[in-house]
Amino acid sequence: MKLTLKIWRQKNFDTKGSIVNYEIDNISPDMSFLEMLDVLNADLILRDEDPVSFDHDCREGICGSCSLFINGQAHGPDRRITTCQLHMRKFKDGDTIYIEPFRAKAFPVIKDLVVDRSAFDRIQQSGGYISINTSGNTQDANSIPINKDDADDAFDAATCIGCGACVATCKNSSAMLFVGAKVSQYSLLPQGQTEASRRVTNMVNQMDLEGFGNCSNTGACEVECPKGISLDNIARMNRELIRASINK
């Protein structure tokens, strides 16, 4: 395949970025999108040019680090996958592909396509955990019966990989799908009850402090989320927050 790539290049946070054109040839439809960028970078290095910086780690859809906006869609044109799971067969020979970073005030560009998503880490640190005394014998899991539907919903919420596609795709740059998932994975389980009020209050406060926008129920986040995290989690988070404010 022969392709024209229009890639966002930006030296650092303080420098103005711009779209730069690259022509690339001999791309196999079986390559992943990131392998295609590897080919481009090998070529740029041979030409003594600065390779394009982009984030990746697992390349298996697990870590959530590969955050690219491809032709105006977070993680590209396929559904329920991350950028690293996108394959070039989704494109046609001769296509022009726009590649940009995830854009949001709370996700400043570090270089080219790499953004700083440490705001998510700080939200998680503010309450996305449970404190349990782990000394002594491990309690038998079956000694705490959990309703099957709740267990399934908690597990679904826990599949959020913190990629940030929900923020990048939301017109308000809202992080409520991410925070809703992180709150829900504990609020549905007995182990999450002790710190429930503190958790939701601190995480929502931190989300606001980081400069994320509010949710206006457009639902784009749910559509673009590679893990299919449901909007129900935002509703659950709001209920938890109201409950926490009543129980103060």
**61 is a contact residue toward ligand FES (CB under 6 A):** yes
Residue 157 CB, shortest distance to ligand SF4, in Å, is 9
Nearest to ligand SF4 of 182, 199 (CB atom): 182
Give, in order, the Cα–Cα distances in Å from 143 to each of 67, 75, 131, 133, 136.
Answer: 41, 41, 19, 17, 16
The residue range among 60-68, 98-106, 124-132, 208-216 that interacts with ligand FES, by the rule CB under 6 A, is 60-68
Helix (H, G, I), strand (E, B) or coil at 129: coil
Please give the Cα distance from 192 to 186 (Å, whole number).
4
Please give the Cα distance from 40 to 42 (Å, whole number).
6
Please give the Cα distance from 194 to 176 (Å, whole number).
22
With CB under 5 to 8 Å by kind, the binding choice for 61 among ligand FES, ligand SF4, none is: ligand FES
Residue with tokens 């007995």: 190
Among 24, 39, 63, 110, the residue binding ligand FES under the rule CB under 6 A is 63
**146 is a contact residue toward ligand FES (CB under 6 A):** no
> Which residues lie closer than 8 Å to 114 by C-beta, 6 or more apart?
53, 54, 55, 101
Which residues sit at the interface with ligand SF4, rule CB under 6 A? 160-166, 177-178, 181, 225-227, 229
**93 is a contact residue toward ligand FES (CB under 6 A):** no
Among 3, 33, 37, 56, the residue binding ligand FES under the rule CB under 6 A is 56
Nearest to ligand SF4 of 5, 192 (CB atom): 192
Helix (H, G, I), strand (E, B) or coil at 159: coil
